Amino acid sequence: MEECIPAYYPVCCHTDRVKQGSVFVAVHGKKENGIHYIESAIDRGASIVVIDQLAELSVATQKKIEEHKVLLLKVENTRRALAQLSAHAVSYPARTLKIIGVTGTKGKTTTCFLLAHYLRAAGKKVALLSSVHNQINEEILPTELTTQHPDYLHLFFDACKKRAVEYVVMEVAAQAISLDRTFGLEFDGAIFTNFSAEHAEFYEDQESYFNAKCRLFSQTKKNSPIFINADDQSFEKIHALLPQAHFFALNKPNSFLQTTLNSCDWNGINLTVNETRVQFPTLIGAFNAYNAIAAISLAHALGIDLSTLAQASKTFTGVPGRLELYQLPNGARCVIDKAHNPSSFDAVLSTLRSLTDQLIVVFGAGGDRDKTKRPIMGALASHYGDFTIITSDNPRTEVLSVIIDAIVLGVDAKNKYKVCVISDREEAIRYAYSISKKGAIIALLGKGPDEYELVNGVKTHFSEREIVQSF
């Protein structure tokens, strides 16, 4: 089979993807400015270079452009130019696809996986763009971002078109919208899962973060189904902006589908949806009931009947790194979850707290990310946990001890006796196992499906699964 996504791109913003004849778009990023890589791009074969109209090039760069007879284009917005040129290079394949966008602070990944599962169950050819992995029909592809850069996205859409895909289900991060990664795309349906404080490292305030997420709706085609969470604190605000939107909820009379949560325990989630019994053996937590009904609602709006959805729900295998469950030799259970912000901590830990009389929490906080959430997560973990171990989680360019100190700062004085610091994450996990007893739950939070540790720009292999499975 033809390579799904080529190693080199016709249009790109990173020199690693440049080939003979490529268009190199010099984007000014948060840490790097693309104009500093123009000479490297030319050495690799770029024939056209696109820069911001206000960019100032060095004498050496200008000379290289002239010597190699490279066409220099100046534009008002390089990010939007990257999206437009990438789409044009492969003849706008997104226009042939039905693209569903899912945004929200938490729940995006599970909702996307569920929706893709339902569409496949209905006989559709489906692609998935998520923070866990990307997928075209049965082919799994790696991913490094929640929402990829447009040079990748349009090659992905082109591969979907060549493989007769009908639907693409994609996570849409607020930052991706703000950075114009989805510029020019039109969505055939959208879900806003929920909203809570996050990404203070990127947005000047939470209003800006909220508004960025809501921009997804302006890219949704007229009369396409949009679903919002009527039980979320953001509902009234979004509903005022989008009075035509449908809503999903539990036990609310005007929901698109009348839904009751019957039970939620180790046996999974049991719902009644418009008098149809729907069971999810692999999902736990009331928050996942919302992800489930969001996906069911949109799938039903797209024409899939409830009996098909109910049958498909029974075969849903879950999402890697989302409440991923392991039974341990000593009778304890381990749960690996991506939770990395206060709202996710609250949802996951409150669920696990109700299922055990010994909850051990192991977590850290990512470096170069929202610093305001660190003490809040420390407070939540020590509140719910019987014992909490604070450790490393991709410190990136920050000093690990500084991150840990910020987390500890949030621990209430009355809970400090049940908190310890073990900087080495593997050692922390092994210690958690050593103190666990039968029936305990060890919650490993933050990494989810990611199998690496990132320190000072160096990424090394680190797999929580491998550690847990070695017990």
Output the six-digit token pair for 26.
């010099």
Amino acid symbol at 51: I
Q: How far is CA 438 from CA 219, 330, 357, 425, 445, in A?
A: 51, 6, 10, 23, 21
| Choice among 96-105, 193-202, 368-377 with the minimum mean pLDDT | 193-202
For 277-286, write each residue's pLDDT tens digit: 999 999 999 9
Spatial distance between the Cα atoms of 166 and 127, rounded to a whole number of angstroms: 8
pLDDT band for position 31 (cuts 50, 70, 90) = confident
Spatial distance between the Cα atoms of 111 and 59, rounded to a whole number of angstroms: 51
The pLDDT, as a whole number, for residue 1 is 37
Q: Please give the full DSSP string across 79-103, using - where no structure is assigned.
A: HHHHHHHHHHHTT-GGGGSEEEEEE
The pLDDT, as a whole number, for residue 2 is 53
- Write down the architecture of domain 11-87 according to CATH: 3-Layer(aba) Sandwich (3.40)
Q: What average pLDDT does the chain have? A: 95
The pLDDT, as a whole number, for residue 240 is 93
Domain ranges of the chain: 11-87, 92-314, 324-469
CATH 3.40.50.720 fits domain 92-314: no
Do 92-314 and 324-469 come out as alike in CATH topology? no
Give the CATH number of domain 324-469; options: 3.30.479.30, 3.90.190.20, 2.60.40.3140, 3.40.630.10.
Answer: 3.90.190.20
The pLDDT, as a whole number, for residue 210 is 84
Strand extents, DSSP E, 177-225: 189-192
For 313-327, write each residue's pLDDT tens digit: 999 999 999 999 999
- Give the global pTM: 0.92
For 173-229, write each residue's pLDDT tens digit: 999 999 999 999 999 999 999 988 677 777 778 888 888 888 999 999 999 999 999
% of residues, the chain, pLDDT over 70: 99
